[in-house]
Structure 1
Amino acid sequence: MEPLLPAKFIRRKRDGQELGDAEIQEWIKAYTDGTVTDYQMSAFLMAVYFRGMTNTETLAMVKAMMASGEVLTWPGHDLFKVDKHSTGGIGDKTSLILAPIVAAAGLAVPMMSGRGLGHTGGTLDKLESVPGFNTQTTLPEFDRLVRENRMGMIGQTTAICPADRKMYALRDVTGTVESLPLVCASIMSKKLAEGIDGLVLDVKYGNGAFFKDQEKARELGKALKAIGTQYGKKVVVLLTDMNQPLGAFAGNALEIFECHEILKGATRPGARGQDLYADTRALSLELAAQMLQLGRPEMKIEACRAECDRILKSGEALKAFELMLSAQGGRLAELPHAEHRHVVKAPRAGYIHAFETEKIGYLNVALGAGRLKVTDTIDPVSGMEFHAKVGDRIEAGEALVTVYGRDAEKLRAIENDVTAAIHIGEAAPSAKPLILATL
């Protein structure tokens, strides 16, 4: 094979040609070791964004990105190992509830989580809002955590998929997040490198998701499942609605608070008595039940749902969550709180018709809850609280959203943008399911 010439390789993809397995392997290896630069990889990512990849190319990308680092084997671990991955949304905090439920049910949950990407939040950023919580453990320490507690939540180490770690950060700042083959390669290389037996995928669609269209999300879900199946893994895909923020809060410490409250059995009553935690709880329970069934195929899904509900209500999941946090150095009692808050009030009476969810996400990023560029730091206390959901009645002057942060002036300055991103109509809109389909 002729030597790798980056410009020629990029041009071939730019012109829509199919790349071979061996040259994709060489390209990813060269990027990992620094021979290929960030600006060359950026050009390649944009070429893939516009030209796409064949299934063969995507599989080659998964293989190459896995091969860039270690693949976990879990010697001596007898429990079924299962993980969950979400394609991302606003207020998407289910991992922090479902993992302790599934661990309490007797399966192992070795979870490697990511940081915020684009307008969405990342589980790693949420966990790091807990003072002392260590997401950067060694792989032997991760093995010990999972062996002792049946769960662990860590960041992507330099040993696991280092190519993806570099590409993930680059995609976030080069406008190449929403590429189906790049999403597939990123997700599945990491998850397969975890050495898990089963995987539940929460593929989101709607105006707050990376893939807005239901059919595009379905296409992604099928592609992800096909890759996992080809590697001998049990995979289930849920297509879920992200046309509004999930739950009551969006923001790192705020979402930790919501999850802890749900695990304690609390509700969050809205002005009309509705529980603003209901969708977070329902989706977390369904994802947990699907994970449980992968490891206990003899159980019907209804029995898995009942068991997960029992574990949540009994407090067993709360105990597992608090154990996980303390085992990794977290001091939940010291969870930080914002110095300032500003209530955005409804400008008129009516029913909540729609959220411009992606816009809400970027407003949250601007507050400090996410990153506009790779080098940005997260403000753990900033974020938003939503006092009404789509379909809820609201009166003029009632609290619509509360924004939290360290800079009171910044909170007041985004009020008009927040109001403009939430549409209020006269008649109640038709209800839409939170979970569209299971693949």
Structure 2
Amino acid sequence: MINNKVLSIILGGGQGSRLYPLTADRSKPAVPIAGKYRLVDIPISNCINADIKRIYVLTQFNSASLNRHIKNTYHFSFFSSAFVDVLAAEQTMQSDKWFQGTADAVRQSMHHFLSNDFKYALILSGDQLYNMDLEDMIAKHEESNAEISIATHPVNAKDATGFGLLKTNDQNIITSFIEKPAADLLPDWTSDVSDEMKAEGRNYLASMGIYIFNRDLLIKLMQNPDTNDFGKEIIPQSIHNHKTYSYQYEGYWTDIGTIDSFFEANLGLTDDIPKFNLYADDRVYTNARILPTSKISGTLLNKTVIADGCIVHAAKIERSVIGIRSRIGKESVVLNTYMMGNDSYESLERIEKENIQILLGIGDRCYINNCIIDKNCRIGDDVKIEGGKHLKDIETDSYQIKDGIVVIKKGAIIPKGTIIK
């Protein structure tokens, strides 16, 4: 079944500089999360769970791995109109420029969207972690006879200055909007939220960057070439002229825009009851790899998530996410770490033939704490990495330290005996 009223547009984001070095050679939506998924799997899965199966993903930076992931993952019946397509920025007769913002990305791609029959355009972000009932949001949009709907999330005063805030009337129709207000303006922007949200001090309604537009209105709004961004221009300019509904969502949601938020979102999956639940009935879809079960020998595991195809001989792993095909050597200790894993295995024959000295994965007798290990890294024996706030932000050819988190770059080789602390 396909919801033929809705066309989904997932915004891949800009260069992703705040997630560097994870975005050095991949777009933000292609960044691996939770040991086996990609960020883009989250909005796509939310759409599929709502029977929305006509999906465009807009991107312009480092889109090769994203293209490959989507091509290998999302296959629908030949007899269905369902698709997930990547649209990279392209030169046309109308424009020879890169996307200048979220609205401009949609504007430049409108000729692709309008080749489809749809009533509503659902616009999502490609770098957020959440599990929302999009079907319910669409139903509320229709019931309210809105022209635009915005998903909103209660936030506290500390976070409020980083978002677009809004206020509504008693019918959840948005009456005012401000983009990233100064702290001294916040007393005028409190909203009516649930008692649970009030108890947590989350009294401000923030835009989640998730929108529904009626087709005809979106076409009209996109005809103004001077508006490049939804949050900064389109939404503030529209709320007084077009009925705009606030769909309040109080579940788990995080905007993964920094290394710190990315790190905490992944390690949060190791909690006994994680805020983002991968074990719910609403599935998160990804590439269905054919991998063996993971093999663990002599390892004490505590609050740890281990993906498929791993070979683990570590002494201890705690509060860590271990990605696909990971290898961890004997007597090693891994704490508070997200290890993304490997794209392939190394055969014994290849190791001997090429005289490989440092194998893929983590070697023997290593100590790794507060670390992100990107794909296909080689960490030699007796390496000590002790991340933490005591470390200054620096960058080398093989790793970068950001906010106390040591990020081992994709494909990096860390020599035996290296100490980072």
TM-score scaled by length of structure 2: 0.33
Bigger relative contact order, structure 1 or 2 (CA pairs below 8 A, ≥6 apart): 1
TM-score scaled by length of structure 1: 0.32
Give the structure with the higher percent strand: 2
